[in-house]
Amino acid sequence: MSSPDQRLRRIPPRLRTLARAMRGGQSDAETKIWWLVRNRNLGVKFRRQHPVERFVLDFYCPELRLAIEVDGRQHLEAEGLARDAARADALGKRGIRVVRFTNTEVLQEYEAVAEAIWQACHRGRE
């Protein structure tokens, strides 16, 4: 296994800088999800705005190879849907599962979203 320093070197500096900047500008929905998954609240460690290859994932659990994406309105348009499908396909080919929610779902149906995330984290582990 490569050291953390080696893994960081593979991430382009521009992408790493973008990920850091994005941590400071979370939406209300992303903040709610972060409070749910942070500090191993679900039994596994998540990182927020984590770069993986050419993508920045909203939340990522390396142990489970699980990404949680929280999408704004632009993701519901045809171009956004196509881009998200291609992104999920590319990540899936690398063994990363993507669970996706809209901001509206997180803010209006939080309990159902939290349950879906819990299920995704514990699927096959019990």
CATH code of the domain covering residue 73: 3.40.960.10
Q: Edge to edge, what strands does the sheet with 97-102 contain?
A: 47-52, 55-61, 66-71, 97-102
- Give the pLDDT confidence of 1-47 residue by residue, as tens digits: 444 434 444 666 665 665 565 556 678 899 999 999 999 999 999 99
Instruction: Give residues with Cβ within 8 angstroms of 115, minimum separation 6.
Output: none
Provide the domain limits for residue 91. Answer: 4-122
How many structural domains are present in the chain?
1
Percent of the chain residues past pLDDT 70, beyond the cut: 74
